[in-house]
Amino acid sequence: MKWVTQTAVVGWMGMVCFCSSIASAATVISFSPHSAGPNGDMLVGDLAGAPGVRVGNWNNFNQNNALLDASDSVIYEDGTLVGGSFSMSFTFTGGIGTGGNFGNRTGESTNDAQLFNGVADVFTSATAAFSNIPFAAYDLYVYMFDDGASRIGGFTVGSTTYYARGGAGMPNTSGTGYVLSTDTTIVNGVDASVTQGNYVKFSGLTGSDLLLTLFAADGSTTTERSKVAGFQIVQVPEPSRAVLLMIAFSAITARRGRVSV
Q: How confident is the model over 210-259, as pLDDT tens digits?
A: 999 999 987 555 567 899 999 999 999 876 443 434 554 455 555 555 54
| 122 in any annotated domain | yes
pLDDT given for residue 259 in this prediction: 45
Q: Does the residue 81 lie in any domain? A: yes
pLDDT of amino acid 87: 86
Tell me, what's the pLDDT at 50? Answer: 98
Alpha-carbon radius of gyration of the chain: 20
Query: Which residues form the domain of 15?
Result: 7-256
In this predicted structure, what is the pLDDT of residue 24? 42
Amino acid at 182: T
Q: Give CA–CA dist 144/121, Å, rounded.
A: 10
Q: Would you tell me how many other CB atoms lie within 10 Å of the CB of residue 139?
A: 18
Name residues whose C-beta falls within 8 Å of residue 180's C-beta, 6 or more positions apart in sequence.
Answer: 50, 197, 199, 200, 201
- State the average pLDDT over residues 34-63: 86
Residue 65 domain flag = yes
pTM, two decimals, is 0.83
Instruction: Tell me, yes or no, whether 1 lies in a domain.
Output: no
pLDDT tens across 68-122, in order? 444 457 899 999 998 788 888 888 888 777 888 888 887 889 999 999 999 999 9
How far apart CA 65 and CA 60 sit, in angstroms, is 14
**131-169, pLDDT tens digit by residue?**
999 999 999 999 999 999 989 999 999 999 999 999 999
CB < 8 Å & 24+ apart, contacts of 102-108: 102/33, 102/34, 102/35, 102/62, 102/63, 102/66, 103/35, 104/34, 104/35, 104/37, 104/39, 105/145, 105/227, 107/39, 108/38, 108/39, 108/40
Chain segment 220-232, per-residue pLDDT in tens: 555 678 999 999 9
Rounded CA gap, 66 and 55, in Å? Answer: 25
Q: Is the pLDDT of residue 185 over 80?
A: yes
> Considering its fold, how many domains does the chain have in total?
1
Q: Is 182 left (phi over 0), alpha (psi -120 to 50) or beta?
A: alpha
Tell me if 261 is assigned to some domain.
Answer: no
Q: What pLDDT was estimated at residue 41?
A: 84
For residue 158, being part of any structural domain is answered with yes
Phi, psi of 117 (to 5 degrees): -75, -45
Q: Is residue 2 part of a domain?
A: no
